[in-house]
Amino acid sequence: MTRELTIPRPDDWHLHLRDGAMLQAVLPETARHFGRAIIMPNLVPPVVTGDQAAAYRDRILAALPDGMAFEPLMTLYLTEDTDPEDVAAAHASGLVKAVKLYPAGATTNSASGVRDFDKVRPVLEKMAEIGLPLCTHGEVTDHDIDIFDREAVFIDRVLDPIRKATPGLRVVMEHITTKNAAEYVASQDKDLGATITTHHLIINRNHILVGGIKPHYYCLPVAKREEHRLALRAAATSGDVRYFLGTDSAPHTDPNKESACGCAGCFTATNTMSLLAHVFEEEGALDKLAGFASEHGPAFYGLPVNAEAMTLTKGDAPVAFPEKIETGDGPVTVFDPGFDVYWSAE
């Protein structure tokens, strides 16, 4: 039985750090384990220009505690007014690694997202030309579409048409939650990748709804049926280079989660690597964890694998994770998997 595993230092290819006091508190939770992270741009106001991305990067680096090494990989928020030349310049400078597509109204702070996809076609064509990936929040927002079907409909109505209309566009389907999405990725070429979150490997929709509403398991895209969770596990542990880790760790204060209209997001930065070791061990795939967490993402983004290493060790007693992270904005609850975890990460 494997009790120690050393892998290259992992990266997080989908992360929310917020700003201000929240940024100060949650950044160390990621930087403790991850070398780099794709930083989501859905601030208020959103990060839409190269100059705004540079300023946000500077705020992140200023919040990094002494002695911690971490590289924020910046993104731009795609709007119907995004300037293709500004995107190209930000990419050419080395600052911006991707552009993020939020369908308007799909999730937290997505009101500035895209409603008319024809209006962003020049940006997408420029991105295909320069090799800049498009990261997608893959849900339609039509009110007649059931929330559990939004991802599957997005593939048919939005994603597949965009990819066919824009040859060469590199796309990351972020935080996939369905068997449909996993199968779509597996059927496509290497210009398409997908991130999978830690929490979607662990919870299904019963965890949110059975025995009372559990607001700290509510996220978007919402967790689906058990058959979809199992399909995600199979994809993540398959060794296929098109699947890689993106935690979508999303801090909200407890009052904002535990309210009449609670915010969507699970905060997993603190314990993701321990939870992943648990999941991959359950699936008999510890030998695939380095690929999923440390190697496939850099390969997709054309970056080197981190030179530093992480060691995961399985102990005899459960690891004690903090229940909450205290921030200047209020407490943030750390994701509770609902079972004991024996793997620690250093």
Catalytic residues: 248
Kind and range of the H or E element at 132? Answer: none
**Cβ(76)–Cβ(102) under 8 Å?**
no
Instruction: At 51, list the tokens.
Output: 């100059």
Domain count, the chain: 1
**Cβ(223)–Cβ(206) under 8 Å?**
no
**Cβ(44)–Cβ(18) under 8 Å?**
no
Q: What is the C-alpha to C-alpha distance for residues 11 and 296, in angstroms, rounded to an integer? A: 10
173 DSSP β-pair partners: 136, 194
**Cβ(341)–Cβ(320) under 8 Å?**
no
**Cβ(43)–Cβ(67) under 8 Å?**
no
Please report, for the domain that includes residue 269, its CATH number: 3.20.20.140
Q: What is the C-alpha to C-alpha distance for residues 278 and 341, in angstroms, rounded to an integer? A: 7
Q: What is the C-alpha to C-alpha distance for residues 280 and 286, in angstroms, rounded to an integer? A: 5
3 state DSSP class of 309: strand
**Cβ(141)–Cβ(112) under 8 Å?**
no
* Residues of the domain holding 294: 4-345
18 contact partners, CB below 8 Å, separation of at least 6: 26, 43, 251
| Among candidate residues 291, 265, 286, 261, the one with its CA nearest the CA of residue 276 | 286
CB atoms within 10 A of CB 298: 18
Q: What is the C-alpha to C-alpha distance for residues 236 and 345, in angstroms, rounded to an integer? A: 19
Q: What is the pTM of this model?
A: 0.97
Ordered DSSP codes for 77-123: E--TT--HHHHHHHHHTT-EEEEEE-BTTSSTT-TTSBS-GGGGHHH
| Among candidate residues 175, 185, 158, the one with its CA nearest the CA of residue 264 | 175
| Among candidate residues 237, 247, 297, the one with its CA nearest the CA of residue 267 | 247
Per-residue tens of pLDDT for the chain, all 346 residues? 889 999 999 999 999 999 999 999 999 999 999 999 999 999 999 999 999 999 999 999 999 999 999 999 999 999 999 999 999 999 999 999 999 999 887 777 676 788 888 899 999 999 999 999 999 999 998 899 999 999 999 999 999 999 999 999 999 999 999 999 999 999 999 999 999 999 999 999 999 999 999 999 999 999 999 999 999 999 999 999 999 999 999 999 999 999 999 999 999 999 999 999 999 999 999 999 999 999 999 999 999 999 999 999 999 999 999 999 999 999 999 999 999 999 999 9
The residue with tokens 């750390």 is: 334
Q: What is the C-alpha to C-alpha distance for residues 228 and 150, in angstroms, rounded to an integer? A: 14
